[in-house]
Structure 1
């Protein structure tokens, strides 16, 4: 008896291009820049700290006008944690750092404060806040410091979850960062390679806030940082490009929300060794649902590089489907 197998259908090139584009979140600096990148099909845009403030305030040339012109749902993200990381605070409001919030407020009060922040972001068309930081302070790193709620892992997670719930109540998508924990890394990923303690040590300390927060604020997203984790995969690849980091997130923590990378161009831990056209396909192949970057780039060149990675098998078809479906679900929820 002869058996035959039906070959897998060839993927539709237009669909592949649409899917990979949806998994990108480039930085934008102006209305026209944002419009061009959205017209290329990206699923979201990131308002950089050096963007034209008119993108948030100018009638007919702001985010609301952009939504009307583009005519499809898309995310608009910003870094707004409070304290030293709160972009355009003269427009969006000025709020205390996370450490100060935890020192002076109950968790219910922090949730209310985050809702206040979220309401301001939402009023200006912003749908994703790359906050809260739930790294555990205590490693002496200036890049963490008062951006962390606490040196106690469980308090860091509890307060982070309260902040996330407040954003959610305002209709803004919170993003826990920087998985799997930057607090005790050897350096700042903005400046170069940063190595965490070995994975077993992370499991007993730095990963605890993520475990707490994922349970207490379901539906939130996560940002995977650029730290190298000994014992996680080859112990050389930054977590944001490391399929073992995403495997830990999905399989160990049972996290099923959106996973973003940290900035792939504005941080030397990545940009010292690869271009954006190299980094983005690696991130998507590893498990990121949306690759984030801030620096100027040729959006079509990045999309082309991702399409090529699909065609050559670097990005597995299942990986493309799962990431694109998660983005589609996120965007559908906005309608």
Structure 2
């Protein structure tokens, strides 16, 4: 016996699915016609702008107010530019510049590009306060470590996106910035009293709520004082008592991907996780990136079963679907006819570059880029100085496998530019920097989160606050390794 059509449609109205490849398969469009809230686009769905526009048009063929979401943060997390790197610096660079008007312009430009492609929801900005240098999943996705600064830029980013007609989704509530674990792989714990959260992690969320953000995304983190043994995504104390009642948020609560280990470890799977999230107060359930029709139907069946056995109250699911429908209605309003300004992101990235030490005497170097693993959030996006070098030799090595003497011989009389991400915690990175600086003039280019670590003996330390295409161009220009009219060293 099949599911009740009304209950199936109700459950579908709370789900954000995904599909493989550049063309939406029939099942993806059919589910939209049946009531599915929408789909999230990932790098595998993105080939070129005209193809993306055709894909979103196909989804709207299923239903005109379908939600089409994407993680387009700029900086290190980009889907539109996953093949080349983003033309915009990310949040850490914008925070370092400290110009909230610029942050608004950058996010308005990102929103303008998304709107032109038919994308209606941006799963951004990241408003976490990165209070831990060794945070493995936030880092340069954060506007900084100061709650006041992060709050100001978060509000500006939200305003910029939504002025372009794209709904913002601030993440990850109640704050993922103090973790030293990645919730894609495990359930991180932030064992702090609620008062510290209110002082350190929650001000940016208050700011984006005041700015009118349409959505807030949950964090798969455990805060024992609030969530007990489970993640915030499944906590009524966090989603309802704190976010709704204390902070007055009346928009859509979106879960982080329910396929992530931080959620599945606690719930025992995506489908039971969906039920727990709805019961806690979530409205729109992001299933994840690896989704097919069978998985969607499994989640729907679990929600319908939970309505029957009392785990879920129908009024709660109707409330969730109603909020999602209101968001969909907002996305159908007329969008401003605008064009993203050329070069905005590159100009911004130049302003973010910080140089400690002296760049003189570093002409004609050997560029050595150190391999760094990417997080699941970032994906395998190209980064570094390579695309921007004007005839300068570059080699790429793994720090723990690199032979300093071989690199010295390769460099000869040339100075060395050592390029890395999160060098302070990269195995073998600090040791290699010190070994090379003992015999050669060395400049270190840090394209990850800038910790307090500085290698002894280097001629210069260059910080970009991110590894986007724009950040790489700005660093190459600062070092005089590529020509750019108007750039002054």
Q: Considering the TM-score relative to the shorter chain, is it more than 0.5?
A: yes
Cα distance in 1 for partners of 2:100, 2:161 equals 13
- Give ranges in structure 1 of 5+ residues lacking alignment: 1-11
Residues 52/156 of structure 1: CA separation in 2 closer, same or farther (3 Å cut): closer
In the TM superposition, what are the counterparts of 1:261-300 in structure 2 within 5 Å?
Answer: 261-265=255-259, 267-273=260-266, 274-294=268-288, 295-297=290-292, 298=294, 299-300=296-297
Please say if residues 38 and 44 of structure 1, whose CA atoms lie closer than 8 Å, have aligned partners that are also in contact.
yes
Aligned residue in 2 for 1:239:
232
In the TM superposition, what are the counterparts of 1:141-160 in structure 2 within 5 Å?
Answer: 141-160=135-154
For residue 61 of structure 1, report the CA deviation from its aligned partner.
4.3
In the TM superposition, what are the counterparts of 1:164-179 in structure 2 within 5 Å?
Answer: 164-179=158-173
Residues 308/92 of structure 1: CA separation in 2 closer, same or farther (3 Å cut): farther
For residue 317 of structure 1, report the CA deviation from its aligned partner.
2.1
For residue 154 of structure 1, report the CA deviation from its aligned partner.
1.4
Tell me the SS of whatever aligns to 2:126: coil
Please say if residues 91 and 141 of structure 2, whose CA atoms lie closer than 8 Å, have aligned partners that are also in contact.
yes
- Give ranges in structure 2 of 5+ residues lacking alignment: 333-489
Aligned residue in 1 for 2:218:
224
Aligned CA RMSD, in angstroms, stands at: 2.1
Cα distance in 2 for partners of 1:66, 1:97 equals 29
Please say if residues 59 and 65 of structure 1, whose CA atoms lie closer than 8 Å, have aligned partners that are also in contact.
no
Please say if residues 90 and 140 of structure 2, whose CA atoms lie closer than 8 Å, have aligned partners that are also in contact.
yes
Tell me the SS of whatever aligns to 2:286: strand
Q: What are the superposed Cα offsets for residues 41-100 of structure 1, whole Å, 9 maximum, x if unpaired?
A: 21111112333536x533884212331x21431110000111110112159952101110
Structure 2 residue aligned with 1:322, among 319, 322, 347? 319
TM-score (norm 1): 0.89
Please say if residues 187 and 265 of structure 2, whose CA atoms lie closer than 8 Å, have aligned partners that are also in contact.
no
For residue 19 of structure 1, report the CA deviation from its aligned partner.
1.6
Structure 1 residue aligned with 2:42, among 48, 56, 66? 48
Confirm whether residue 205 of structure 1 aligns to residue 192 of structure 2. Answer: no
Aligned residue in 2 for 1:28:
19
Please say if residues 185 and 196 of structure 1, whose CA atoms lie closer than 8 Å, have aligned partners that are also in contact.
yes
Q: What are the superposed Cα offsets for residues 140-196 of structure 1, whole Å, 9 maximum, x if unpaired?
A: 202111100011101111101101111001100001100000111241111201011
For residue 312 of structure 1, report the CA deviation from its aligned partner.
1.3
The ranges of structure 1 where at least 4 consecutive aligned residues each deviate by more than 4 angstroms after the TM superposition are 90-93
In the TM superposition, what are the counterparts of 1:116-195 in structure 2 within 5 Å?
Answer: 116-140=109-133, 141-195=135-189
Please say if residues 185 and 197 of structure 1, whose CA atoms lie closer than 8 Å, have aligned partners that are also in contact.
no
Please say if residues 40 and 69 of structure 2, whose CA atoms lie closer than 8 Å, have aligned partners that are also in contact.
yes
Q: What are the superposed Cα offsets for residues 196-251 of structure 1, whole Å, 9 maximum, x if unpaired?
A: 13223212211121112211x11431001100112114x11101111111121001
Q: Which has the higher mean CA deviation after the structures are superposed, 288-297 or 75-84?
A: 288-297
Cα distance in 2 for partners of 1:161, 1:224 equals 18
Larger Rg: 2
Aligned residue in 2 for 1:112:
105
Tell me the SS of whatever aligns to 1:174: strand
Tell me the SS of whatever aligns to 2:73: strand
Cα distance in 1 for partners of 2:275, 2:85 equals 33
Please say if residues 92 and 120 of structure 1, whose CA atoms lie closer than 8 Å, have aligned partners that are also in contact.
no
Please say if residues 184 and 197 of structure 1, whose CA atoms lie closer than 8 Å, have aligned partners that are also in contact.
no
